[in-house]
Amino acid sequence: MPETHHREFSELPITVDRELDAPLPAQIAAALREAIDQHTLRPGEAVPASRELARRLGVARGVVVSAYEQLIAEGYLSASHGRGTRVHPELEGLEHSTHPQLTEQKPLSKTTVIAAHTPAGTRPLSPGLPDTSAVETQAWRQAWRSAASHAHLEAPELGDPLLRSEIAEHLRRMRGTTRPAEDVIVTAGAREGLSLLLSALGTTRGRALTVGVEDPGYPSLRKVAARHGAHIVALPVDAEGLVTEQLPSGLLDVVLVTPSHQYPLGGSLPLARRRELLDWARRTGAVIVEDDYDSELRHSGSPLPTLAALDDRASGSVALLGTFSKTVSQALSAGFLLVPENLRRIVEPARRDLGGPVSAVVQAALAEYLASGELRRHTARMRRRYAARRELVVERLFGTPGIRVRPMSGGLHAVIELLQGSAALESLVVTRSDHLGPIPLSAYWHGQGTGTGAETSRYGLVIGTGGSLDESQFDAALRELREILTRTAGF
């Protein structure tokens, strides 16, 4: 490990540009990531003191602190009492592959996409529903109007070329992921994308697949894998996400992960684990399915680029599942699968045989909507709304005995842990609050033996902060939930 010393600002290629969309902390964080990836800053090395860097850049100190916090959360930096903030020493031990995606990345805009996850419900705190009350703008209507006049078009099985290229551009701007449009295959959503991938892999490997899933994790993709006859293996998760050091060798064909925002616990997989996961996949030949379901709905800090951005374009391991279906509205039923060239070679024939499921009209409308920039504007509005609701959840439930609102940096769900939880208590709370729509936290566990670290309760509630309610209805539902929790859990 190199000797700790503070790097002079002049040695580091950090600039900020107030004309850019991206917030200043995100610009600083991106520049530091690049410096780390290019070895300008080495593992263990101290970064400039925040006060000094802020002065040099002419920004408030809070801006730099915010950038550092973001990088600490991602695992690029580590902070220890008395030693200051440094490049994470663990980055030293890992195979260090400099990826063009990472080094070339642009400062990320905070405008974001939500990909909500659970089926519709009309109960006010059901998780997974986005707020669609503000979707129907002029741009939306215009997109459908022109799309409907393209009735003579048949979308190619892999997707409308215009849409594929808009999605590639979206990934570049919003997810730090620079890939050609040919790597994008249009799907009817995350589940359909996974289904396609598993069909392709199943035919190729000629046997039932073994699929690792995060535990706890979202049951939806797990069920798709089971429908494909896969054996499901539960993998432990802690507060940072998948515990990559415990991955088995030579057992898994596929692993399903939510690196940007673990569902439901909310962890963001640190860089060291991302690299470990990629190395493991390369070693074992497994395919990593990255479920990027709500990564851009982050309200604090900015998200890491996708895992796919760290992957090899020609001979990679990561298949990225995205969905626009619920970005704007659950009515769209459209998403994408991003696959490197080696996986394209097996996914493309499968798609040609099975047919493309997404209407050419939908694809044309979505392409126009993306091209208009309206998706970015809409998502920015929604992110502010969800952030405000998140704060309201914390505020309303603060001080309720026997519970803890789990920290969450974004998305449209909240996890309320029952501190002295048991199956019986959870069941009682869920029964009493059923009309509000929460899901029991224990429902996200697959196995019995695995689970999170000691810091997380297995029992609690998952509630949604989306849904097309007005703010007073949302507030009323929270107040009622607090009453029920106080009566039931507070003893």
- Per CB under 8 A, residues contacting a copy of itself are 119-120, 132-133, 135-136, 140-141, 144-145, 147-157, 188-189, 191-192, 195, 199, 202-203, 220, 223-224, 226-229, 328-334, 350, 353-362, 365, 468
3-state SS track over 311-347: CCCCCCCEEEEEECCCCCCCCCCCEEEECCHHHHHHH
Q: d(Cα 472, Cα 479) in Å, to the nearest integer? A: 10
Q: How far is the CB of 217 from a copy of itself (least distance, A)?
A: 15
Query: Residue 429's CB: how many other CB atoms inside 10 A?
Result: 26
CB of 476 to a copy of itself, least distance (A): 20
Question: Which of 454, 430, 388, 303 has its CA nearest to residue 416?
Answer: 430
The strand pair at 77-80 and 287-291 is best described as unpaired
The candidate with the shortest Cα–Cα distance to 378, out of 174, 242, 93, is: 174
CB of 317 to a copy of itself, least distance (A): 23
In the complex, least distance from residue 145 CB atom to a copy of itself, rounded to whole angstroms: 7
Q: Quick one: 354 or 428, whose CB is closer to a copy of itself?
A: 354
Between 199 and 300, CB nearer to a copy of itself? 199
Q: Which is nearer to a copy of itself, 89 or 202 (CB)?
A: 202
CB of 141 to a copy of itself, least distance (A): 6
Smallest gap from Cβ 223 to a copy of itself, in A, equals 4
365 or 484: whose CB is closer to a copy of itself?
Answer: 365
By CB atoms closer than 10 A (0-12, 13-18, 19+), residue 409 is buried
- E strand or H helix at 406: none
**Whose Cβ is closer to a copy of itself: residue 50's or residue 325's?**
325
Least separation in angstroms between residue 160's CB and a copy of itself is: 10
Q: Which is nearer to a copy of itself, 359 or 486 (CB)?
A: 359
Q: How far apart are the first and last CA of the chain?
A: 51
To the nearest whole angstrom, how small is the minimum distance from the Cβ of residue 369 to a copy of itself?
11
Give the C-alpha separation, 344 to 319, whole Å: 10
- Smaller CB separation from a copy of itself, 96 or 145: 145
Residue 119 or 490: which CB sits closer to a copy of itself?
A: 119
How far apart are alpha carbons 117 and 191 in whole angstroms?
10
Residue partners of 360: CB distance under 8 A and separation at least 6:
150, 153, 154, 155, 160
Supply φ then ψ for residue 222, to 5 degrees. Answer: -60, -40
Question: Least CB distance from residue 119 to a copy of itself, whole Å?
Answer: 7
Minimum CB–partner distance for residue 206 and a copy of itself (Å): 8
Q: How many Cβ atoms from other residues are within 10 Å of residue 9's Cβ?
A: 15
Going by C-beta distance under 8 Å and a sequence separation of 6 or more, which residues neighbour residue 72?
78, 79, 85
Evaluate whether 338 touches 128 at the Cβ level (below 8 Å): no
Of 209, 307, 206, 191, whose CA–CA distance to 252 is shortest?
Answer: 209
Radius of gyration of the chain (CA): 22
Q: CB-wise, 364 or 462, nearer to a copy of itself?
A: 364
Three-class SS state of 24: helix
| CA–CA distance, 483 with 7 (Å, rounded to integer) | 53
What is the smallest separation between the CB atom of 193 and a copy of itself, expressed in angstroms? 10
Phi-psi label, residue 267: left if phi above 0, alpha if psi -120 to 50, beta otherwise: beta
State which residue, 42 or 150, has the beta carbon closest to a copy of itself: 150
Tokens of 283: 């070693």
**CA neighbours closer than 13 Å in the CB half-sphere of residue 23:** 19
Nearer to a copy of itself, 198 or 463 (CB): 198
What are 444's two structure tokens? 């996200």
